[in-house]
A = this chain, B = another copy of it.
Amino acid sequence: MQFVINRDYFVHSVQHVTKAISSRTTIPILTGIKIVADHEGVTLTGSDSDISIECVIPIEEDGEQLVQIIEEGSIVLQAKFFAEIVKKLPEDKIELVVQDQFATTLRSGSSVFNLNGLDPEEYPRLPQIEEENLFQIQNDLMKNIIRQTVFAVSTAETRPILTGVNWQVENKQLTCTATDSHRLAIRKAAIETNIENLTFNNIVIPGKSLTELSKIIDDNDGLLDIVVTENQILFKSKNLLFFSRLLDGNYPATKNMIPDHSKTDIFLETKGFLQAIERALLLSRDGKNNVVNFKTLEDGIVEITSVTPEIGRVTERINTKQLNGEELRISFNGKNIIDALKIVDSNEIKISFTGAMSPFLLRPVDSDKALHLFSPVRTY
């Protein structure tokens, strides 16, 4: 194998596929990047067997030659060193030559790296995916959906299904749900598809896969192709394939958890409320429970307090935009509220309580696409 490649494109693609590679894999060949040179260009693959990422650098793009293939072939090179090497090479072009025994030479200007490669025949094949169930979402919307749900997945392995985000599709609408059983985040979005009656309801994507995907998607209004099979999901954008395994098991039904009435409704300015809870938790940051006490006062004012024995007490008063309904005293995990307030895309939120012992809802006032549900904490 021998080719000459544009360094910037190579660096960019190597960084993408490296995101799938784990140094803790039990399959040695997966510590490497697979590099294939053929008539289409150079294709890079990285995988940890849960996530696989494939990146193509075409021979030519927008009239500019990116790759010159001198001899077709393939090789696997250690990912750990490779990303840093290509980034630091001195010239705009890099030549890669593979000789006998997978001995590989990387040359750029007066810099020469001789690397021991691995046998590309040992590298596992990527899943073959039938493109039957295909739909599309804008890149930037996809990044937003991920940001607004993944934070709420469980990090505990006791219920593995909760470490993923549940995706449901019905009537050309995607509903994404994440919960760790103390808080729940739901985000809805319209999808584009040519398939009549496209419906899924038990697709569960590992949170980690979505986080990595989000880092790779461009932040623009281009369309991302999404293909779902029984145990894999594939995201396709220009020159890039991102495969993730799906989680096994049934995602819990969450629809009936959401209260359909409320006793106290409070409208708050998002940023001011976030900062007040952040201050309330300042003294308890080593604590495990992050309990904040919330109380309605006269004249549309709410009071937040937090007590850490030995250290002290914080009291915050906040003017609400509007406060309707019954008086209320409730305690909750302030950290969970902070997580939600940080990703709400709205200057104002509405919180709906149905009593001190019941889950409560938090919603942006200017969108019905997002919803957060929290369990209260018993403090007595």
Contact = CB atoms under 8 A, between A and B. Distances in A.
A89 B317 CA distance: 13
A315 interface: yes
Number of copies of chain A assembled together? 2
Interface in A297-325: 310-318
A316 B112 CA distance: 6
Interface residues of A, number: 29
B279 A85 contact: yes
A201 interface: no
B278 A113 contact: no
A110 B317 contact: yes
A282 interface: yes
A310 B117 CA distance: 10
A127 to B, nearest CB: 31
A114 B282 CA distance: 12
A311 B81 contact: yes
A90 interface: yes
Interface string A88-122: 11100000000000000000001111111000000
Contact of A313 (B89, B114, B276): B114
B313 A88 contact: no
A88 B279 CA distance: 7
Contacts of A276: 111
A287 to B, nearest CB: 12
B282 A314 contact: no
Given A90-B279, A113-B312, A116-B311, 16 more contacts: A81-B312, A85-B279, A85-B282, A85-B283, A88-B275, A88-B279, A110-B316, A111-B276, A111-B314, A111-B315, A113-B282, A113-B283, A113-B314, A114-B314, A116-B310, A116-B312
Interface of A: 78, 81, 84-85, 88-90, 110-116, 275-276, 278-279, 282-283, 310-318
13 contacts: A81-B283, A81-B311, A85-B282, A85-B283, A88-B275, A110-B318, A112-B314, A113-B279, A113-B313, A115-B312, A116-B310, A116-B311, A116-B312
